[in-house]
A = this chain, B = another copy of it.
Amino acid sequence: MRAAFMYEAGDLRVLDAPDPVIEQPTDAVVRILRSCVCGTDLHPYHSMTTDEAPRAMGHEFIGVVEELGSEVSGFRRGDLVVSPFFFADNTCEYCRAGLHTACPNGGWYSADGVNGAQAEAARVPQAQGTLVRLPADADDALLSSLLTLADVYGTGYHAAKQAGVRPGDAVTVIGDGAVGLLAVLSARQLGAERIILMGRHKDRTDIGRLFGATDVVPERGEEGIATVRELTGGHGTRAVLEAVGHLPAYEMAVGAVRAGGVISRVGVPQYEQAPIGFDSLFGANVTLTGGPAPVRAYIDALLPGVLDGTVDPGRVFDRALSLEETPEGYRAMDRREALKVMITL
């Protein structure tokens, strides 16, 4: 098959690779119909060294079941399925508690012995627990929204759920990437009344407004914090959803959150140390939460709204390319010419 590999920063190649096969009786092989490029894929695109090359890329896909291991039940060849970005058994105590990303039998695509999803096919470990069947007659127009269930929609939803967003709430969302915009959508679904979106790309924040943002703050840093505080009578908002992952975004979150409020992070932190002492979190009794989203836990709740058209999370895809054009997809996202690139196979 053909598959995308990173060789070093800025150097993504689509090459021939071995076709995935069933390795464990709990595996499935899925022929991929739609994949995409994630904001987190840009981190190695910026900084990867040749020591780690080649690295298989991609972790979001929907596709058709092609082969099933002997221990996988509940699926048939030809089923249309979505896979969360993290595979998991869906039976252990962490999965039962809704924390699939802590599953001891779980793991990441493009790592943990599994190929990437920017490819023609994928081996899916723990397939019975990982995959979710989609209505076989899902038409083409729905595929982009269904694809967001693999990561970005569930990740935005995780930010809002972990922050305990509730009816009437005031929420700040930091970041106008796909996850930030879907955090806006999720906060709205959970009943937030005031949603302040911090982002400076008008084409993106316009989607944020469609998703439910009531205010847009393009300023950053101290100026951005001051604007959020002005909009909220000096208090900040009870919840701040941080969908970027860089330290300045965390610092904005600390500045924008109300005393007693919650900062919920889903942007993968590109830092380890950060301020959490008396003057940042402790003195104001601010809670910090979040992490890699247990997307599998949310699909059952989010799927109906996608299928019946209540929500249209697929709006975050503003460009569709072929697998061979994947390098162009990275370039376009890196230059902020594209919000999120879908790969159509």
Contact = CB atoms under 8 A, between A and B. Distances in A.
Interface in A261-299: 265, 268-269, 271-292, 294
Contact of A285 (B102, B260, B268): B102
A272 B274 CA distance: 8
A75 interface: no
Contacts of A291: 281-286
A97 interface: yes
Interface in A98-115: 99, 101-102
Contacts of A285: 99, 101-102, 162, 289-292, 294
Given A99-B260, A99-B285, A274 B271 contact: no
B278 A275 contact: no
B97 A260 contact: yes
A260 B101 CA distance: 9
Nearest to A279: B272
A94 interface: yes
A102 B259 contact: yes
A273 B271 contact: no
A272 B279 CA distance: 8
Contacts of A265: 282
A245 to B, nearest CB: 9
How many copies of this kind of chain does the complex include? 2
B290 A289 contact: no
A102 B285 CA distance: 9
Contacts of A268: 278, 282
Contact of A283 (B259, B274, B279, B292): B292
Interface string A109-135: 000000000000000000000000000
Contact of A287 (B101, B272, B287): B287
A276 B272 contact: yes
A331 to B, nearest CB: 27
B283 A277 contact: no
A288 B101 CA distance: 18
Contact of A99 (B259, B273, B274): B259
B286 A287 contact: no
A56 B87 CA distance: 58
A101 to B, nearest CB: 7
A278 B285 CA distance: 22
A269 B282 CA distance: 8
Given A269-B276, A272-B280, A289 B292 contact: no
A277 B247 CA distance: 10
Contacts of A281: 288, 291
Contact of A282 (B260, B280, B290, B294): B290
Most chain-B Cβ atoms within 10 A of its Cβ — which of A269, A276, A278?
Answer: A276
Contacts of A102: 259-260, 284-285
Q: Which 5 A-B pairs have the closest CB atoms?
A: A285-B291, A272-B277, A102-B259, A287-B289, A99-B260
Given A162-B285, A273-B273, 11 more contacts: A94-B260, A99-B285, A101-B285, A102-B260, A102-B285, A272-B279, A272-B280, A273-B274, A273-B276, A285-B289, A285-B292
